[in-house]
Amino acid sequence: MFGSVPTTPKSIEAYRPIIGDARVDEILELADKIRGARVLHINATAFGGGVAEILATLVPLMTDLGLHADWQVIRGTDEFFNVTKAMHNSLQGMLLEWTPQMREIWTRYNQQNADMLDEDYDFVVIHDPQPAGMLQMATQRLGRRPAGKWVWRCHIDLTDSQVDVWDLIHPHLEPYDAAIFTMAEYVKDDLVSPMLFTIPPAIDPLSPKNVALSPGVEQEILTRYGVDPERPIISQISRFDPWKDPLGVIDVYRSLKKDVPDLQLVLVASMASDDPEGWAWYERTVRRAGEDYDIHILSNLNGVGNVEVNAFQAAAKVVIQKSVREGFGLVVSEALWKGRPCVAGNVGGIPLQILYGRTGYLVNTTAECANRTLYLLQHPEAADRMGIEGREHVREHFLITRYLRDYLAIFNSLVGNVDPSKSPARLLTRAGR
């Protein structure tokens, strides 16, 4: 159709030492029932972001399991992607003007992409609202429903959607055979779908961001960035915006510095290259840090990539995620997987990952955050114990293999191999949400 996104081959067997025989065998069994199935994932970008990150692992694993899995990216020009950006923001509650012209652009590009669909698949997974119109438009063009089961996978929280945008995409969603959300709380009340599932996000324990680094590599990276591996480190990896409160993290560090004078703070900003707001917050954070060389403010835009983030999380005594508003906050699982306790805002998906006092602490204020972090810095055995339990919690719930299993279970439900109510993927009922 429009050209596949290249992915690096992966093997499910590589995960056996991590998740154990029972879980691998469950996956093999589910995959076996739909062996040879043609699966197509469509999303808006191959360039980065959480969805692309997950697909880059999921698609090659499905291939390894004997499915014909393919990942393609919708085609569009700037006018389309400007509209989808606005759509994305407005579905997440941002107030902005939604014009008839924008509506026309979204419709036209969905039409064009639907026209390019020239192969049959057994399962088509459409990710997020950008390409959501393709099913209905392909149906119109063909004069019948295109082959296979169609699933709409929504990665964003729709509950605060602006009405005019929701009204545009809503009718396009209802013909799907199933819809999958990240959390039950993200589902819009009036969405009607034959089957509604949730699949919480997950991390890939073998990706460069999460795979265990040898102590040598970790030290090497810290040293290159001027961070002293011998002194205690706290870190936060996040966007810089009011919701992730980087200024509050600096305040926490400052208040701890009195009790832990050799403490270092590593803040890594994930920024987009043309985002004046992100830049403004970065700059504000730099100013708040002043000339304290024990505060290291780094960014993905100056060379901090997945391996570096891995090292800054693994080397931290405590990882902080001081969100005051959050999506799922998967970065918490990344830290827990490295055996580090996490002190994080009690918002979004974070409470699913942090079991209070067992894998870290949920906090609501800067003072609380400082207190809990100090406790963990002063009680290294407790910190390590929480780190260990955190890693087990992630192994159980937030690894990509669980995510893969959920998809396979849903595919099986859609073709009648598995009773959806007994599916390992969580099926939502009206009453259940």
**Which positions touch another protein (CB under 8 A)?**
2-9, 46-48, 52-53, 56, 73, 75, 77-78, 206-209, 211, 214, 216-217, 220-221, 224-226, 270, 273-274, 276, 279, 282-283, 286-287, 289, 293, 296-309
* 182, burial (CB in 10 Å: exposed 0-12, middle 13-18, buried 19+): buried
| Adjacency order of strands within the sheet including 233-238 | 295-299, 264-269, 233-238, 318-321, 342-345, 360-363
Find, among 7, 364, 426, 399, the residue nearest to 204 by Cα: 399
Kindly state the DSSP code that residue 194 receives in the 8-state scheme. Answer: S
Find, among 424, 418, 333, the residue nearest to 32 by Cα: 418
Looking at beta carbons only, is 302 or 429 nearer to another protein? Answer: 302
Find, among 171, 135, 156, the residue nearest to 88 by Cα: 156
Q: How far is CA 362 from CA 260, 318, 340, 384, in A?
A: 22, 13, 15, 17
- H or E stretch covering 153: strand 149-154
Looking at beta carbons only, is 72 or 413 nearer to another protein? Answer: 72
Report, in Å, the least distance between residue 234 CB and another protein. Answer: 17
Tokens for 24, please give them: 């691998």
Looking at beta carbons only, is 197 or 282 nearer to another protein? Answer: 282
Chain centroid to Cα 18, Å, comes to 21
Looking at beta carbons only, is 131 or 360 nearer to another protein? Answer: 131
- H or E stretch covering 366: helix 366-378
Report, in Å, the least distance between residue 406 CB and another protein. Answer: 23
Cβ(316)–Cβ(233) under 8 Å? yes
Looking at beta carbons only, is 36 or 216 nearer to another protein? Answer: 216
Report, in Å, the least distance between residue 74 CB and another protein. Answer: 10
Report, in Å, the least distance between residue 5 CB and another protein. Answer: 6
Looking at beta carbons only, is 191 or 286 nearer to another protein? Answer: 286
Kindly state the DSSP code that residue 208 receives in the 8-state scheme. Answer: T
Report, in Å, the least distance between residue 146 CB and another protein. Answer: 22
Tokens for 59, please give them: 């698609």
Helix, strand, coil percentages (3-state) for the chain, rounded to 5, are: 45, 15, 40
Looking at beta carbons only, is 27 or 227 nearer to another protein? Answer: 227
Report, in Å, the least distance between residue 400 CB and another protein. Answer: 15
CA dist., res. 332 & res. 379, Å (int): 20
Report, in Å, the least distance between residue 168 CB and another protein. Answer: 23
CA dist., res. 365 & res. 59, Å (int): 40
Report, in Å, the least distance between residue 101 CB and another protein. Answer: 18
Looking at beta carbons only, is 45 or 371 nearer to another protein? Answer: 45
Report, in Å, the least distance between residue 6 CB and another protein. Answer: 4
Report, in Å, the least distance between residue 115 CB and another protein. Answer: 17
The β-bridge relationship of strands 264-269 and 233-238 is parallel
Report, in Å, the least distance between residue 132 CB and another protein. Answer: 20
43 SS3 class? strand
CA dist., res. 198 & res. 98, Å (int): 29
CA dist., res. 308 & res. 295, Å (int): 16
Cβ(171)–Cβ(150) under 8 Å? no
CA dist., res. 71 & res. 52, Å (int): 10
Looking at beta carbons only, is 171 or 226 nearer to another protein? Answer: 226
Looking at beta carbons only, is 48 or 432 nearer to another protein? Answer: 48
Looking at beta carbons only, is 9 or 143 nearer to another protein? Answer: 9
